[in-house]
Structure 1
Amino acid sequence: MTPLPTSPSFRLEGRRALVTGASSGIGLGCAVALAEAGAEVVLAARRIERLDDAVAALRARGCRAEALRLDVAEVEASADAVAGRGPFDILVNSAGLGRHGPAVDTKPEDFDAVAAINLRGAYFLTQAVARGLIAAKRSGSLINVTSQMGHVGGIDRAVYCATKHAVEGFTKAMAIEWGPHRIRVNTVAPTFIRTPLTEATFAGPERRRWIEEKIKLPRVGEVSDVMGAVLYLASDAASMVTGTSLLVDGGWTAG
């Protein structure tokens, strides 16, 4: 008999995951995907009431989950929280902020607010989780949720694009640096995903038409599309994948 290769596992039993921005949308979806795959998941966000509801729903499904009030812009407090609850085998950096408008109208305070979460917060939270893994001599998978706008430009999105391009850059650098520790660092870069926060965008006929023309597949993105990508990168199925971006953009950046 010809020996057959063994399929890698997507299961995550015995692993602990931290998911930021987990009170709704993509972050919540990622937390659900990891928990249903067997991970013990800490759902983190600023809105503790919504986190408590999500945790209760996950526990009702038999999943292991807990809530953590966390503002990634508060770098020192976030690092302390990670040190106190870690080490985490998996990180999903999904907290994000967008203040869109013409580049000629960008105010310094808006630039700083977006960068504090999308770039500075993501950078130092990734650092904090990596420090815990290195100290514990454990491997891990660190995933930053960026955007297709981390690969291309977009009208009224100069600040957002700047932060997401920057996250793509530090992800590659960290992957090189932490590879010897068996810590993988990647990004997931979604297109426009249907969530409560994007309802206003999809409600505008002209903007929706522009989105649908740019996406090559005949539909817009759903949270479940990102869930599958994150589960893959978190699992042993992606054990040789680091320093790269998994584009979940329906072909947007291919054209």
Structure 2
Amino acid sequence: MEVAQGLCGRGALVTGAGKGIGRAVAVALNRAGARVTALSQTKADLDSLEQECPGIQTLCVDLGDWEATEATLNTVGAVYLLVNNAAVALLQPFLEVTKEAFDRSFDVNLRAALHVSQIVARQMIARGVPGAIVNVSSQASQRALQDHTVYCATKCALDMLTKTMALELGPHQIRVNSVNPTVVMTDMGRLNWTEPQKVAAMTSRIPLGKFAEVDDVVNSILFLLSNQSAMTTGAMLPVDGGFLAC
């Protein structure tokens, strides 16, 4: 597979790998020959992933817990490829945003990405090896969406984190990029977007007139991890059918 250049045999860590995009990325990296470690806070999801792909190592930890995350990731072998996919979407109207939703959202969507990246990047630098990091952001980082106040804020912050990481890690030959999808047809996405009026209101703003499939996002992530994007860092790659172009 052409897009998989540079993935075979390399250690890869995927967070939020129990379901949806993260799980699909972990499976795709495994099939591309990478040595995959899949991280999730839901053990049942990890158990089913191990059954699906016995070669994948799994780790169960809540990334909102700084100390537990550090202790767990110190048990992982050499990582060259990192996908920060773990996220929560706690949707509330602006006037009803709670401290609990705000803190949990920033803990998982932003702080965890920073922390995990720090741990992995320090290990890369200590080994003197190049690497690639992909943060899974969203079109919500650049467009205001109803009831998405905190989610939009976390993803906007994640995009800037991506840029500053690219700036500071570039001299160590560690590339950092993000993917910014529209609504993705994961199992959860299909459940949440069944109402025809709601779907039409969103797809009418997408020039291609449709939502993204999981493979659309996975293929973009694999590209950014691979040698085919060797000169790309600090980029936000829309996977949105043109939503952000309008």
TM (norm. structure 1) is 0.92
Please state whether the residue corresponding to 2:179 is helix, strand or coil: strand
**Larger Cα-atom Rg:** 1
User: Structure 2 vs 1, CA of residues 227 and 8 (structure 1 numbering), >3 Å: closer, same or farther?
Assistant: closer
Please state whether the residue corresponding to 1:203 is helix, strand or coil: coil
User: Structure 2 vs 1, CA of residues 252 and 203 (structure 1 numbering), >3 Å: closer, same or farther?
Assistant: same
Distance 2:197 2:118 in 1: 40
- Tell me the residue number matched to 1:165: 156
- Tell me the residue number matched to 2:44: 49
C-alpha distance after superposition, 1:169-226 (max 9, x if no partner): 0110011101111001111111000112223421222221112112211321111111
Q: CA deviation at 1:139?
A: 0.9
For residue 93 of structure 1, the aligned residue among 60, 65, 84 is: 84
- Superposed counterparts of 1:99-110, under 5 Å: 99-110=90-101
- Tell me the residue number matched to 1:237: 228
Q: CA deviation at 1:52?
A: 1.8
- Tell me the residue number matched to 1:3: none
- Tell me the residue number matched to 2:10: 15
Q: Runs (4+) of structure 1 moved beyond 3 Å? A: none
Give the unaligned 5+ runs of structure 1. Answer: 1-6
Please state whether the residue corresponding to 2:9 is helix, strand or coil: coil
For residue 166 of structure 2, the aligned residue among 169, 175, 200 is: 175
On the 8 A contact 2:4/2:32 being kept in 1, the answer is: no
Give the unaligned 5+ runs of structure 2. Answer: none
On the 8 A contact 1:99/1:114 being kept in 2, the answer is: yes
Please state whether the residue corresponding to 1:178 is helix, strand or coil: helix
Cα RMSD of the aligned pairs, angstroms, is 1.5
Q: Does 1:184 align with 2:179?
A: no
Distance 1:111 1:204 in 2: 28
**Count of residues in Structure 1 that have an aligned counterpart in Structure 2:** 245
- Tell me the residue number matched to 1:27: 22
For residue 82 of structure 1, the aligned residue among 59, 70, 73 is: 73
- Tell me the residue number matched to 1:209: 200
Please state whether the residue corresponding to 1:187 is helix, strand or coil: strand
Q: CA deviation at 1:57?
A: 1.1
Q: CA deviation at 1:11?
A: 4.6
The one-letter amino acid paired with 2:96 is D
